[in-house]
Chain A
């Protein structure tokens, strides 16, 4: 288990947070730029000493400012994937990985490094310099290098932000696989809620140095604690299998039942996203009219009012949420237990290859 309790000040930002991540679990730290997400990672890795704080990993204490304990980064077994990967430009891919194998006898390092690269399908690129690797390959080398030290905790600082859209989806699969296989507590920093929902078990939304809400992605989307979380959690994410459908649309058979259409082209496993404010609600059975192609029946599980609007948490085969006016809450008698039909357009439905 990784436990962080720290207070720090960066310019005008007051950072104060307390979080725990179980072994094998991945917590996404999501929030806008400047919320202090990367600072949390730097504090855990030992690259920044907070004004006050305690960092514990397993039965080891890495930082305890009150006791005057502050282990240097090299004594914290902490795998960190940097935002721009920070691969050593003068070393080949395998030597980058081998740099993290200082605890392995010298003669065994090359073999271990190659085995790690092979895990990410990069054995053939072992002798390439970072400048000769593609963005996706660089990320995989960075991941292999972070795992080389056999870390007790894994930290990923916006690992996909340096990638183009096409590579992002593939790298997400690799990240998810690596996170599952590592069996250590992991923190994933991201400013993208859909990515957080997809890769992490739990999401903590940070704003202005504090965690404003923490929970599963669908719980956050369904009942945001603040207007900020409501806006930030944006898209609802559903998963399923895509195949070509009628009229040039893509048909997605949703996991757990039901189907949806999208104007995006995709096939195979996908993550489908739609903004809650694009989802409208009607009495069950009333669907079918209008231009919207997607209809799912669901049960209302929560109603959260945020100013003049309300976020409605819905339980179908997969959790879903919608944002409607307070008038609609009254007119449709939306309350937990009510059954509704959620409707949205195929053109408001984005597909991401999972």
Chain B
């Protein structure tokens, strides 16, 4: 009896410690950046450019991730084939890649001197020091977050629902669109929120691959870093804005998908 009570106390203490440690820096940002600082930071056209660019590039990246990732995750969740485990691992590889390495990899593959560099140049596509390059970097680092989560969400859909849909006259495309996606929606939204959060915070791969050109490739994290050395208060204020925007975006995505996506355990 006393042993189990002691264990419960240990669990509560562990959660309290984790919660304090994880939220303290975020709270500190808002505590240190006063309303006047926030207003001043938003007056700065460079900050506004960075915010606009972050929202634009991450939105395009998410459209690509969802558009390609959803059917790909469906395939991985519903088909058994030789080498499937290898494919799943390869798709998740960017998760463990240091962001700077991801940037170098992108340069080696798609940069002017990279493997496909010549082909892209012939086609008139420029990525390095261009906004399109930012989108490529964000897509690369954030896609695995969505793919993983979407695959798990599709795998959790009751297979008898899909069979029922088929016996009711729906081909696989209709069963996918009308049954699998709505049923997996909370999981898909959670994956999108994770991926979007990762994309908004992306720093290393963007810096290495696309550079930090104001208004073109300088996203909010890059702008924060640029200010950090000269204007700590400005960096702090912009950080607060980024946290607020990211938080609102993630909450919005989860709310759209319904209350289940807010982290209630799957029943």
CA A274 to CA B174, docked complex, whole Å:
49
Q: Which of B164, B171, B183 has the largest number of chain A CB atoms within 10 A?
A: B164
Is residue A74 within 8 Å, beta carbon to beta carbon, of the partner chain? yes
Q: Judge if A116 is at the interface, Cβ distance under 8 Å.
A: no
For B147-186 the 0/1 string (1 means CB < 8 A from A) is 0000000000010110111111111001000110011010
Q: Are A72 and B165 in contact (CB under 8 A)?
A: no
Asked whether, in the complex, the Cβ of A90 is within 8 Å of the Cβ of B182, the reply is yes
**Residues in B whose Cβ lies below 8 Å from that of A45:** 163, 167
Query: In chain B between 37 and 91, which residues have their CB closer than 8 angstroms to a CB of chain A?
Result: none
Q: Which residues of B contact A117 (CB under 8 A)?
A: none
Question: Contacts of B183 on A, CB cut-off 8 Å?
Answer: 88-90
Residues of A within 8 A of B174 (CB): 102
Minimum CB–CB distance from A89 to chain B (whole Å) comes to: 7
* Main SS class of interface, A: loop
- The reply to whether the CB of A73 lies closer than 8 angstroms to some CB of chain B is yes
B166–A149 contact, CB under 8 A?
A: no
Q: A99's contact among B158, B160, B168, B185, by CB below 8 Å, is which?
A: B168
Per-residue 0/1 for A167-208: is the Cβ within 8 Å of any B Cβ (1 yes, 0 no)? Answer: 000000000000000000000000000000000000000000
Q: How far is the CA of A127 from the CA of B264 in the complex (A)?
A: 25
In contact, A99 and B182 (Cβ under 8 angstroms): no
Q: Which of A73, A82, A102 makes the CB contact (< 8 A) with B160? A: A82
A74 and B161 contact, Cβ closer than 8 Å, known pairs A47-B166, A88-B183: no
The smallest beta-carbon distance between A193 and chain B, in angstroms, is 26
A102 to B167: give the CA distance in the assembly, Å: 12
Interface centre among B166, B167, B169, B170 (most CB of A within 10 A): B167
A74-B170 contact in complex given A88-B183, A99-B165, C-beta closer than 8 Å: yes
Tell me, in angstroms, the Cα distance from A112 to B229 when the chains sit together: 69
Evaluate contact between B178 and A80: CB separation under 8 angstroms: no
Q: Which residues on A sit within 8 Å (CB–CB) of B178?
A: 99
User: Within residues 55 to 87 of chain A, which ones have a CB less than 8 A from any CB in chain B?
Assistant: 72-74, 76, 78-80, 82, 84, 86-87
**Residues of A close to B160: CB separation below 8 A:** 82, 84, 86
Residues on A with C-beta less than 8 A from B169 are: 74, 100, 102-103, 149
Which residue on A lies nearest to B163, using beta carbons? A47
**Residue A145 at the chain B interface, CB threshold 8 Å:** yes
* B163:A74 contact, CB within 8 angstroms: no
Set B158, B161, B168, B185: member contacting A149, Cβ < 8 A: B168
Q: CB within 8 A of B170: which of A47, A79, A99?
A: A99
Question: Quick one: which of A136-169 are within 8 Å of B by CB?
Answer: 145-146, 148-149
14 pairs, A vs B, C-beta closer than 8 Å: A74-B166, A86-B158, A87-B164, A88-B164, A88-B165, A89-B161, A90-B182, A99-B165, A99-B168, A100-B168, A102-B170, A145-B168, A148-B168, A149-B167
> Using a CB–CB distance below 8 Å, which chain A residues touch chain B?
45-47, 72-74, 76, 78-80, 82, 84, 86-91, 99-100, 102-103, 145-146, 148-149
B positions within 8 Å CB-CB of A? 158, 160-161, 163-171, 174, 178-179, 182-183, 185
